[in-house]
Structure 1
Amino acid sequence: MSEVFEGYERQYCELSSNLSRKCTSATLLDGEQKKQKISEIKIGLEEAEALIRKMDLEARSLQPSIKAGLLAKLREYKSDLNNLKSEVKRMTSNNQAARDELLESGMADTMMVSADQRGRLMMSTERLNQSSEKIKESRRTMLETEELGVSILQDLHGQRQSLLHAHNNLHGVDDNIGKSRKILTAMSRRMDRNKWIVGFVIAVLVVAIILILYFKLRH
């Protein structure tokens, strides 16, 4: 629930209770005292109307899921305000009989209804507050889960980069081993060829020495 709406709501409930008390006390007054009390009540009613307009504007600016509940509460507040206005109208009537009847029965019934309405309004407010807290808790849990998921994805991304780097290093090592194997193979072939050449030269020299010794011994 909007904190701004809650602030206006508390102000209205306090003001409504105060106006109800003033209405009750005004019915017991006469003359200038009653006029002064009614004047104070009318000023309070104007303040209450201003608070309801502010609550209405604030409620309509919120999300639809929250706005619906607040507008329902606002209708009850408007009904409560209309009851207070009706009480003021009855008090300003010049009909003494109507005033006496109001004092005997109507006022008590109206105050009971108003008190019952305020009780229901407070219960509705409490339920909405509880629902709002549950929504806030669910939102906190969702944000924590989202943060944990992002952290896990970042860790997995880091591990993937490490594996790719290791794979590239192994690929480089394989290339170096392949090159070394080719070099060793070429060197082995050269060594074999050199052995054959050296053997051939030695064989030629041996044959030449044998021929030289043969001709010398013959002469």
Structure 2
Amino acid sequence: MSNEEQDLNILFQEISSIISRNIYNVSGEKKKQLLNKAEDYLVEAQDIVNKLKKDSRKENNVQLDNKIKNAQNNINKFKSLLLQEKRNSRVNERTQLLGESSENFDYNISDMDQRERLLYNTQRLYDMNSRFEDTKKISEEAEQAGIDTLQMLHQQRQQLLRTNDVLNEAHDEVGQSGRYLSLLQKNEKIMKLLTILLVVIIILILGVAIYLKAASILK
């Protein structure tokens, strides 16, 4: 996980904490400060997402594109929730200025319903973010497993290449041995011919010697 992704997770957790819990325990100026703080976190998160978008265009990384898309969706949902809560805060301020009436009472009931929906949506968003983190973790583990598999395949390929080199060397040696055997066979044939020729010469010499001896005896 990159530093940018870690920063995004921290920012999303802070924003979710403000929206789902803190802003319902305070009112007035304190609530405005919390809402402004959440908006500042959103600005930081948007800056990080914009930076990741630039990096993604350079790297053409599909996995990073999916992470950016999910992060941008979270930012948009948080913006919508903060906007709704700001509207609710303004309604509450007007209610306090105008005083309590039956109409305002109905308005407050509607406002409470909106808060419940807001809290529900915020919790859903937080749960979705948690599932996103789990999915991202599984994806990273799968990516690491893929890297390990590629490394293992690379090592096996290197072993096969070395084995092929050994086989080529053995083939060359067998070829040289074959040439030596052919040469020996040729030399053996030559030796046989020389031996036959030598025997013929010896026979001729013996024949001539016998002929000369016989001729001398007859005289």
Q: TM-score, normalised by structure 1?
A: 0.78
User: What is the aligned partner in structure 2 of residue 56 from structure 1?
Assistant: 46
Q: Distance in 2 between matches of 1:50 and 1:20?
A: 19
Q: Matched residues in 2 for 1:194 and 1:169: separation?
A: 37
Which deviates more, 148-157 or 112-121? 148-157
Counterpart of 2:6 (choices 3, 6, 23) is 3
Residue in structure 2 matched with residue 205 of structure 1 by the alignment? 209
Does the Cα contact within 8 Å between 1:55 and 1:74 map onto a contact in 2? yes
Distance 1:75 1:102 in 2: 30
Q: Which residue of 2 aligns with 1:82?
A: 83
CA deviation vs aligned residue, 1:152-211 (integer Å, no higher than 9, x gap)? 322222222121111111000011111111122112211111111111111111222222
User: Which has the larger displacement, 99-108 or 6-15?
Assistant: 99-108
Structure 2: how far apart are the matches of 1:158 and 1:210? 77
What is the identity, as a one-letter code, of the residue corresponding to 2:99?
Answer: A
Structure showing greater Rg: 1
Superimposed CA distance per residue, residues 25-68 of structure 1 (whole angstroms, 9 cap, x where no aligned partner): x5xxxxxxxxxxx0x43333332112112222333425332222
Give secondary structure in 2 for the equivalent of 1:95.
helix
How far apart, in 2, do the equivalents of 1:97 and 1:113 lie? 25
Gaps of 5+ in 1: 27-37
Q: Does 1:18 align with 2:22?
A: yes
Partner of 1:44: 34
Q: Distance in 2 between matches of 1:139 and 1:145?
A: 10
Paired residue secondary structure (1:136): helix
Q: Which residue of 2 aligns with 1:33?
A: none
Percent identity of paired positions between Structure 1 and Structure 2? 12
Pick the aligned partner of 2:187 from 183, 186, 197: 183
Residues 12, 51 of structure 1: 8 Å contact kept: yes
Shift of 1:98: 6.2
Distance 1:162 1:121 in 2: 61
Distance 1:198 1:169, change over 3 A: same
Q: How many residues align?
A: 201
What displacement does 1:21 show? 1.7
Scaled by the length of structure 2, what TM-score is found?
0.78
Counterparts of 1:107-186 in structure 2, within 5 Å, are 108-186=112-190
- Counterpart CA distance in 2 for 1:54 and 1:175 is 78
Q: Distance in 1 between matches of 2:71 and 2:143?
A: 20
> Structure 1 pair 196/4, CA: closer, same or farther in 2 (3 Å)?
same
1:79-129 per-residue CA deviation (whole Å, 9 max, x = no partner) reads 221133224434544614269749953553343223212211112112222
In the alignment, the residues of structure 2 paired with residue 20 and residue 76 of structure 1 have an alpha-carbon distance, to the nearest angstrom, of: 18
Aligned CA distance change for structure 1 residues 53 and 111 (closer, same or farther; 3 Å): same
Aligned to 1:97: 99
Secondary structure of 2:25's counterpart equals: helix
Determine the C-alpha separation between the residues in 1 that align with 2:120 and 2:165: 67
Partner of 1:31: none
Task: Give the distance between the partners of 2:35 and 2:108, measured in 1 at CA.
Answer: 24
| Counterparts of 2:48 and 2:120, CA distance in 1 | 26
